[in-house]
Structure 1
Amino acid sequence: MIYLIDDKKSRQEQLGWSQSKFDNFNPILKTVYSYKQIEKEELNTNDKIYATNSIILFHESFFDHVDNSHKKESDKIRNGLNDWADKNNVPLILFSGSNNARSIIGKKVSMPVKLLYQNLELFVNSILNDDDIEKSLKVLLYGEKFNVEEILQLKKEIWETKFKLSPILNNKINKFNTLTSRSIDLKITQDPLLIKSLINE
């Protein structure tokens, strides 16, 4: 079972996920909107959310919302969920509106909320098709053409890392700035195409 734990129902609707669309995936996708629902439906158990065959999609600020407040601090709940997922090798997808980056380490994914809902149907269908979980997580993170998207993402990260780690490049950019009265800053601008464009202006 895939558990989608997100208190923002109105945002789901804005991102194209009405209740009727969720109903189409009812046997495999369970929406969770509040801590009261978790308690009422007894979802916080070893045969439901904490089953080892679960897949958990968790909105990072779920327990920060006043209606979902808990005697434990929200950070402790998130850390406990992280630890449990690691220990039991359960896929855990953390998503947030304030997160603009995507990452995957083993079966732990971090991604922007819009991207999650954009690729959610593809992800659920991948699970229904019995694709291996690694492929399904890549589909969720990068979409249908996940190989192409992953390569593009890696290229971007390689260039960003190169800029961050290259003092020679920094020195050359600083000299270029001095000679041309420009203000290219590698700490702010790390997109190689944009840097090339700024240099060639």
Structure 2
Amino acid sequence: MGHHRVQELRRHGPDVYELVLERNDLAFEIGDCLALHNEAAAQSRPYSIASGQDEDSLRFVIRRMVGGVVSPHLCELRNGDSVKVNPPFGWFRPGACGENAPFVFIATGTGIAPFLSYLRTPQRPAPVRCLYGVRALHDVVERDWLASQCELGLAISREDSPGVHRGRVTELLSDLPETPDLHVYLCGLDTMIDEVSDWFENRGLHHTQIHREVFFHSA
């Protein structure tokens, strides 16, 4: 457990932020989480690390939750402020399915964080595709950069945007290649994860090829 100073707080939309902290040589694996604290309230919440393993900073994608205890605090921090951080933990390992196995990333909302960590780490095989579902265009984190790193399929559920699918991310599944050795990495809301898991299992994918990380709205 230690304290890390804020380097930057970037606002992506009305309630979506990217918090950047000093790394302080903290070691982590792609897919790990850290518990970030609001010390005044004696509360903490887990957030997936969104930075690459070689970066000097720790990045987190945070949705500010109305009535929350930790997320509003984190979204009001200033450069130089100190954040108490617990040691990393986790078992979700994007892309760890073997060198030659094809894989896809599917995320909703802030569930994109562990996939950002993977894609920001050099010399990693690219996913076949990354499907990313959000409510509105301003909720998208690093859209142009993501599109430069992999084939990006974007779905927006609550508004129209030129050139972007209007609807749920699950409606993009039929565009994916049907390969028996495909591995699927899911991160986001439990409803999406259950629906996507069922979709692939009904098409013959073994449950061991479906890797799940359920994201709850951390308040």
TM-score using structure 2 length = 0.26
Task: Kindly indicate whether structure 1 or structure 2 has the higher relative contact order, using CA contacts under 8 Å at least 6 residues apart.
Answer: 2
TM-score using structure 1 length = 0.27
Greater C-alpha radius of gyration: 1
